[in-house]
Structure 1
Amino acid sequence: MDLFNSALGKNITFLRPAFFIISGFIGIPNIKYYYAFLFFVYIISVLANTAVMATIYLDHNLRTPKYIAVFNLALVDLLGNSAMVPKVLDIFLFNHPHISYNDCLTFLFFCYVFLSMQALNLVALSYDRVMAIVYPLHYQLKVTQKFMLCLIASFWVFVIIVVLIATGLLTRLSLCESVVIKSFFCDHGQIYRLACNDYTPSDITAWILPALILWLPLLFVLLSYLSIGYALAKVATVRERMKGFKTCTAHLSLVAIYFLPILITFILRANIEPHARIINLSLTSVFPPMLNPIIYVLQTREIKESLKKFLKITTHYKNRKVKFKK
């Protein structure tokens, strides 16, 4: 951040608080039950995403462009919940609401990077489905491992740069209105509104950022499925249509789980009670990373078969080990 400031101007002094107070869940009745739920969500998320990543890594039959994107989604989900949930539990469950200025910006940066990558990863999976169904003859040629790796790497670079700019602009603010952040994490919008100098660049960024990392990915996904629907409508038999659509069910479920709660919160934000809004936003942040791997295991035949194979091998190995000891 010092490099960011030195590039924009020298000999400028900004007022920065020594710490912030995160107050999002304070005052909500029976909130301790929700903390237990968050802990449960986190444990399931870690176990499920690790299992999916290990399965894809160990099974060479899953080294395809589609499963490279699935592996990256599991990695992003694991890192995202690991960046957010333990810190949220430390702040509220163990009563450590104070967070230093630098730690808060770091917390903000990683949370936004991983949440943004979830949406862009759904774009990569949408592209894979469009090419497989709409352009099946070109799929093997155009959607290669190298292409998918480059696409995902470009998404990582893009997200890191965009979020780094948004975070860097916060360091140009004098924060003297308050030190209380009325959210469950270091929320970008909550922080820049604490400024007592001009925060127009951050305000503009707050409009551009969702457009780039939420609404454009959603638009691409919707256009993708319009193309897929049109292509399947031209297929001769109903059975072939259902077969083609079945390959998209897992991805459609991920899209619905990620985007629907965000859309509901956005549309109804003026009518949602503040505490309910904070709970809803926290659920939209931590719940999809838990459900994503479960959905892929339940709805994807290749991963289910691979998991069954590894479980059989593990069980057989353990049984042989027990017999050998006897």
Structure 2
Amino acid sequence: MENYTFNSFTLQLDGLKLSEASMYPVFFAFLFCYLFIIIGNLGIIVLVFIDRGLHTPMYLLFCNLAFNDILGNSIMVPRLLISILGHRSEILISYYECVIQAFISHMFATTAQTILMIMSFDRYMAICNPLRYTVIMTNKMLLKLTVSAWGVAFVLVGILLGLTIRLSRCRTLIANPCCDNASLFKLSCESVVINNIYGITFTVVLSVASVGSTVLTYTMIIVVCLTSKSKSLNSKALKTCSTHLIVYIVMFTSGKVGIAFHRYPEYAEQRKLCLILFHVIPGTLNPVIYGLQSKEIRRFLFKFLPSKKVLSS
């Protein structure tokens, strides 16, 4: 018979179950990824801030994505590293801290999609309406788009978690290494029909809006490129759009695989790994993809590298 603990303010996170042989390789792999996420994304934010040549909508929007990656990984990875190093598969966490962690985790996932939607609109304007680009994508418009990306995510996730915290709790085990909404409302013995309906609606509407806007903007960009005889335009479109599309596919795929695993309890360990990778992989790849493919960022970094004459001497 299952033991019930009603409205306990101490919960347990179910961490990764690792063997002695794999514990330290996994620890150092996640540690390296986390340090790279912090240094890489923070480095790009600093570069954009100090170089006025990078004060363009594309890079300012990417700063939002970089900040979101730092925030989303900092709420989960350090606690995961501590649990691995402490040889513990179960980690204690307070209920309120768990709610905050779930809120930031869902904000990370939602904001990533809204920011990428805005970035696809920016690429559409830059390629399909280059003459009107500077008139439309002003600092005021950029501020409105940024506030909208974070504001919509805040409201949607706020309602999502609000429906969950109204529930009483009769269990204490979070079957994940990180708190999320689904794991939280599964602690309740009450009806969670409303939570499931809103959660599914939230996911479907956001996914349809995200995929729909991306497909629409890229279809228009492809049409413009096919009808244009300008090689420079096609080259610019290929470089900037391929970068954005790679980031979007990585983020969207890793997120949806994790959601799918939530429906199959027998794949608990795979679900845990997907949840971690959903945070880690985009945050690790984003600074590499944007940094290495950006001519402006490469030019800025080369300023601080010693010249060939200095190296030879």
**TM-score by structure 1 length?**
0.84
Q: Does 1:62 align with 2:25?
A: no
Distance of aligned partners of 1:91 and 1:210 in 2 relative to their CA distance in 1, 3 Å threshold: farther
Once residues 272 and 253 of structure 1 are traced to their aligned partners in structure 2, the CA distance between those partners, rounded to angstroms, is 31
Q: Which of 250, 271, 280 in structure 1 is aligned with 2:274? A: 280
On the 8 A contact 2:75/2:105 being kept in 1, the answer is yes
Within the candidate set 31, 34, 41, 1:42 is matched to: 34
Greater shift after overlay, 106-115 or 53-62? 106-115
**Secondary structure of the corresponding residue to residue 22 of structure 1:** strand
1:101–1:267: structure 2 CA closer, same or farther, 3 Å change rule?
A: closer
Q: Does 1:25 align with 2:16?
A: yes
Any conservation in 1 of the 2:8–2:172 contact (CA below 8 Å)? Answer: yes
Segments of structure 2 that go 5 or more residues without pairing to the other structure are 1-5
Q: Please name the residue that 2:302 is paired with.
A: 308
SS in 1 for 2:11: strand
State the distance in 1 between where 2:166 and 2:180 align.
16
| Superposed CA offset, 1:93-139 (max 9, x none) | 33361111111101111111122211211111101101111222221
Verify the 8 A CA contact 1:112 1:163 in the aligned structure 2.
Answer: yes
In 2, are the aligned partners of 1:24 and 1:183 still within 8 Å (CA)? yes
| 1:27 to partner: Cα distance | 5.7
The one of 76, 79, 103 equivalent to 1:87 is 79
| Moved segments of 4+, more than 4 Å | 237-240, 263-272
Q: Which amino acid aligns with 2:254?
A: P
TM-score normalised to structure 2 length: 0.87
Distance in 1, matches of 2:80 and 2:102, equals 12
Q: 1:104 maps to what in 2?
A: 98
Identity %: 28
CA separation of 1:90/1:296 partners in 2, compared to 1, >3 Å: closer, same or farther? same
- Cα deviation 1:58-98 (Å, max 9, x = unaligned): 00111111111011111111121112211222344333611
* Cα deviation code 1:229-254 (max 9, x no counterpart): 11111112566423432232221221
Pairs aligned (count): 300
Map of 2:215 onto structure 1: 222
What letter corresponds to residue 10 of structure 2 in structure 1? F
Once the 2 structures are TM-superposed, how far is the Cα of residue 48 of structure 1 from its aligned partner?
Answer: 0.4
CA drift at 1:258: 1.1
Contact 1:116 1:214 in 2 (8 A): no
For structure 1, the residue ranges without an aligned partner over 5 or more in a row are 1-14, 320-326
Distance 1:303 1:296 in 2: 9
C-alpha contact (below 8 Å) 2:11/2:174 kept by paired residues: yes
Deviates more, 1:213-222 or 1:236-245: 236-245
Tell me how far 1:296 sits from its aligned partner: 0.9
Amino acid at match of 2:8: P
What are the within-5 Å matches in structure 2 for residues 99-138 of structure 1?
99-138=93-132
